[in-house]
Structure 1
Amino acid sequence: MSYDSTATRARLLAAAHDEFAEKGFAGARVDRIASAATVNKQAIYAYFGSKEALFDAVLAQRYTVLADAVPMDARDLPAYAGALFDEITNDAGLQRLTLWKTLERPEVFPEEAQAHRGKAQAVVDAYGVSAETAMDALMLVLAAAQAWNLTPPAVRTPGEQDETARRARHRHAVVTAVAAITATLLE
């Protein structure tokens, strides 16, 4: 039987994604990740060095997928917010991972900071605003795109049954809010 290190690493990342999304960083167990990936626990340390590094690798992978799936046009932040909303809404694991990271590992990683700085610079170039204003606008876009996915079902409109209509209404609210933010902060 031949050994495929790329496939092993991919299985580890997939199993870790599921475990971290469900249990968070603190609740995740390397034994369960290894078992789900059909490898021994030592493979996690051989490929990633630590549970922390594995969590970081999962986040980096998910953020890369998100960045590729939702390219940003600095001149159309409302459309970017709508596309982010769609992607986040369609990927419950990403939403959960982001929340766990915020709760358990709130520090900003260098790759994450660089990605934000690059997008902020595109906003600076497009609107001629300060880097701080551009970063504020981007953080508001991200918050708006994620906010509706954080709303527990119990606080949604009473009697609301049509999930597609609810999602469309929330998406419209996100895009409209980001348009107002853009007009206020950037123009």
Structure 2
Amino acid sequence: MKASKTKRSTSWSDVKARLIHFDHDGLVGLVHDLYTADKSIQIFLHARFGLGEDILEPYKITISRCLWPDMFRNQTVSVAEAKKAIANYRKAIGQPEGLAELMVFYCERGSGFSVEVGLQDEDFFNALVRMFEQALKAISKLPDEQRPLLMERLEAVCRISQNIGYGVEDAMKDLLVEYDIYD
């Protein structure tokens, strides 16, 4: 008879149980090894600990690269990677004003690129409108004094989106009315 073996995947609980055996220097060494192993972990730790002059910059660089690629270098658009940059910031620190800024920046880059190159991608435009709505939701949660500049930028996105077509401008206008956050 064969003994039945069930494979159990390793989980955070397993890792956490091992961490108990680390002393301070061991944990610092582990974090150092992680820090040097991957650029995304460096960005995460810099954001989490508020290190650097502009913790949003690496996330903006990723969003810009993904939504306004260099076509001469055969770079391609990646909505998923741009959205992942925002999700990574949310995991690292997730400050509401930073999230709103990244979402507005996403909309600016996405709409700007669309108009600049005459992009014809309905899925891209749907993602842009969804992010526009998420940005409005994020702005609505900010203190009153932080809202006007971000709203001006989103209204500018809406205005330039008239050149995109596919109903993007109309959808954005409807959302601006729905999320009238000036009240």
TM-score with structure 1 setting the length: 0.31
User: RCO greater where, 1 or 2, for CA within 8 Å and sep 6 or more?
Assistant: 1
TM-score with structure 2 setting the length: 0.31
